[in-house]
Structure 1
């Protein structure tokens, strides 16, 4: 339990606080190019999204890349996932669901692609959680992990205006060099481990924040977008995400 920065109660409250979860996933969904390249280059047929409820990336992979997809998470509320599938023109059985504790689960099969988006930063032991991903990968398969970069300006904003959410994240793991080393130590070939994206700011449950905080966020967001439109590059200081891609031999 010391490895966890969140618990089941946190995630139940988190998802209960959300509205309009059943959204149409666009073909240009975040990281769509990276995922499409992986699927095409490696002839991917099967994929599993870890910690991905309600299943946005699982839906993307099924809807647009036509993969055999599984979603695994500690907390799954079936009506939400079923409505998400329906909204995106998919049947309720188009995605396999596994509701389980990743730390007490032995993979029953392995997959061509194992991905998580915003999962590993909620654990203190980064090597352990990444190695749990690796256990799901077929030989020759691909690992794809994304996480927020709270060492960037976005992290400063989170720390000062949403400290409770900030404290649910392992800031030390937000280091491309560290992530690459963990994968290399596990015998994987690192394809890329880098900062990703020009600039962004966000707040959980933004509508509940005070007006001055929302105005500051909007002002900083606009300023950052204008700056990175002129000076377009990925960086530790401004990029909102980190992406990791590695292959299992």
Structure 2
């Protein structure tokens, strides 16, 4: 499957991670507000929704709390990631619930195959050399007529160039797709893209994985850039969104269906 990362990288990352954040979608979190809107526009109420790569996901608790009529599940091959997601799910209480599945996306046989109306992922498929192979694996979890929403960081733009400069090893864990190569991967996986493209004007917070220590010139440059993003978000939240672009947009998103 030509993975560009090792399981140990994710396992160690979850173990070392500080207390997880929660999305509130004010102006300080405007880029994620755009992602949430994109997914909610698909329709979640009453649907079976699976997030792949869901270790410690803040997305599933948010969606499960907002759409109690939906049924939500998360899949991840990291034991530590699943434990952190289960802790988040337990904190929901009430009628909301999230199934947690410790399982590899590429499992040859799974009771989860063919069960979901919507399968989403945030920053998963770009960690494989063969995009079509990863997308085809995601596709197996869909019901007939189900939809996929796939989000990747825009490593073909400024974020990719900065990642390569700040931390080459992190850059090498990504297949730096642009919109055209992302579309091609979907076609090769037998998926018809219904909507998508670059999303958001900027989000330099995506660069956080480049830094293990909070010191040095690169770190302070990153902090300055994140403050710039937040200043832009403040203006967008009041006066309207700036255009998305191949150069500066933080995300590439595709909503697709099996052909």
Give the corresponding residue for 1:54. 56
**Following TM superposition, by how much is the alpha carbon of 1:217 offset from its aligned partner in structure 2, in angstroms?**
1.8
Further displaced range: 203-212 or 94-103: 203-212
TM-score (norm 1): 0.85
Q: Kindly state the Cα deviation for residue 113 of structure 1 after the two structures are TM-superposed.
A: 0.2
Q: CA deviation at 1:205?
A: 6.5
Q: Distance in 2 between matches of 1:205 and 1:181?
A: 28
| Contact 1:197/1:241 (8 A) holds in 2 | yes
Contact persistence 1:107–1:135 (CA under 8 A): no
- Structure 1: any 5+ residue segments left out of the alignment? none
The match for 2:147 is 142
Secondary structure of the 2:93 match is coil
Per the alignment, residue 37 of structure 1 pairs with 41
Whole-Å separation in 2 of the counterparts to 1:110 and 1:26: 30
Q: CA deviation at 1:189?
A: 3.0
Structure 1 residue 215: Cα displacement: 1.9
Find the counterpart in structure 2 of residue 211 from structure 1: 216
- Flag structure 2 segments of 5+ consecutive residues without an equivalent: 27-31
Residues 1:52 and 1:84: Cα distance change in structure 2 (over 3 Å): same
2:86 to 82, 93, 107: 82
Aligned pair count?
242
Structure 2 residue aligned with 1:161: 166
For the 8 Å contact 1:161–1:213, the answer to whether it is kept is yes
**Pick aligned residue for 2:250 from 229, 240, 244:** 240
| Most deviating of 187-196 and 162-171 | 187-196
Tell me the equivalent position of 2:157.
152
Question: Is the contact between residue 27 and residue 64 of structure 1 (CA under 8 Å) also seen in structure 2?
Answer: no
The 1:73/1:207 distance shift into structure 2, 3 A limit, reads closer
Aligned mates of 1:92, 1:45 — CA distance in 2: 15
Q: Give the drift of 1:27.
A: 6.0
Q: Which residue of 2 aligns with 1:24?
A: 22
User: Counterparts of 2:95 and 2:183 in 1: how far apart (Å)?
Assistant: 37
Please, what TM-score do these two structures have when normalized by structure 2? 0.82
Shift, 1:182, TM fit:
3.3
Q: Classify 1:226/1:126 alpha carbon distance in 2 versus 1 (closer, same or farther; 3 Å).
A: same
Mapped to 2, the partners of 1:92 and 1:170 lie a distance apart of 40
The residue matched to 1:20 in structure 2 has which SS?
coil
The answer on whether the counterparts of 2:78 and 2:102 sit within 8 Å (CA) in structure 1 is yes
Q: CA deviation at 1:86?
A: 3.9
Q: Residues 91 and 99 of structure 1: is their aligned pair in 2 closer, same or farther, counting only changes over 3 Å? A: farther
Instruction: Report the CA distance between 1:185 and its aligned residue.
Output: 4.3
Matched, 1:98 2:101: yes
Distance 2:228 2:96 in 1: 44
Q: 1:25 to 1:218 in 2, by over 3 A?
A: closer
Would the alpha carbon gap of residues 198 and 94 (structure 1) be closer, same or farther in structure 2, given more than 3 Å must change? same
